[in-house]
Amino acid sequence: MAYPSLRQRRRTRLRRWLFATLVVAVAVFIIALAVRYRTEERVVVDYFAVAGEVTALEEMVANDLTNLVGGVSSVDRPMMEQRLAALEEEALEALTLLEGTEAPATVAEAHGYLMVATRSWSAGVAALDDAFFEILDDPNETGGGEMLAGVLDQLRVGDAAYVGFLGAIGALDQEIVTRQFRGITFESPDDPYDVDMITLQLRATYKLGEHRDVSVTATIEPAAVGVDNNLPVVPFADTFVVTAVIANEGNLVEENIEVMLRLIPQIGQGLPITERRVVELLNPGQASTLAFDGLDPDPGGLYELVIETAVADDIEQSNDSWRLVFWRNEDS
């Protein structure tokens, strides 16, 4: 009986070892390929989830912009500012969300189109307030119209890029597309924006123009308790406090509003008392209260109390000052 030689046995063991190694290598490769496929599949799913959020935000911005432009005549300046700021914030949110997501190679073309669309829309919306208020505040200049034309061009670039995004999505294997994407246009093909028409609407809306109006009203403590010769009589007390309310009834933010109080004796001797205060900031519709408690009119005197505000180009001067002529009772 013949036995295989030592060399043959070594060759056999080597072949078995190589075969086993090959089997293990193939298995590892298959597992790695499967893991890689599942990882890429998960990244694609995550990408489309983000893209769905981005496009939903952009669709909302586009619809809100259409409603704002179509309803220009029904809004005032503060509301216009608030709505434009909200649109800018939402468009920037969409852009930030897209820029922060990973785009796998499978969807690189679609991602490129969506990035261009989102950046163009965000830039256009961000510049819209400058264009609108340039038109409103400089009606004799053409700069606002030119700015608005540039804004609309940016929005149209975004619209065109989004069409490319939809085309790139349609060319992909539809088994990996986990979201449905609707058409989005900031400018309707059936009703395109017209720079001249928007300019006319803005300038024709009175509430959108610049209107400065700061008013002042006041109360005194103690309050008058009677009249003498048709003038109110203020009882004597240890303190005399004037509380002034300064209100911004216009549609522009007012800063550094100067308020001056004068307490002027009408009979006898004595010098006027003057106090100045500054209200640093008042938004439209906002009011600030000032208390003047360092006053000490003499008992038995007749006084004129005057509080005035100073705001350039105030359209309603009848409410810029508050006056009261009064007697102060004798010290009892």
Are 127 and 143 in contact by the 8 Å Cβ rule? The answer is no
Q: To the nearest whole number, what is the mean pLDDT of the chain?
A: 85
DSSP-derived letter for residue 181 is -
229 pLDDT tier (thresholds 50, 70, 90) = confident
248 pLDDT tier (thresholds 50, 70, 90) = very high
CB atoms within 10 A of CB 158: 28
The pLDDT of residue 138 is 80
Which of the following CATH numbers is that of domain 214-328: 2.60.40.10, 3.60.15.10, 3.40.120.10, 3.40.50.300? 2.60.40.10
The pLDDT of residue 25 is 40
Residue 244 predicted with pLDDT over 70: yes
Kindly report, as residue ranges, where domains of CATH 2.60.40.10 are found in the chain.
214-328
Q: Taking the CA atoms of 203, 207, 213 and 214 in sequence, report the sign of the dihedral they define.
A: negative
> Residue 262 is encoded by which pair of tokens?
């004068």
Residue 24 predicted with pLDDT over 80: no
Residue 31 predicted with pLDDT over 70: no
Percent of the chain topping pLDDT 70: 86
Tell me which of 43-52, 105-114, 137-146, 315-324 is least confident: 137-146
Comparing C-alpha atoms, which of 128, 120, 58, 63 is closest to residue 91? 58
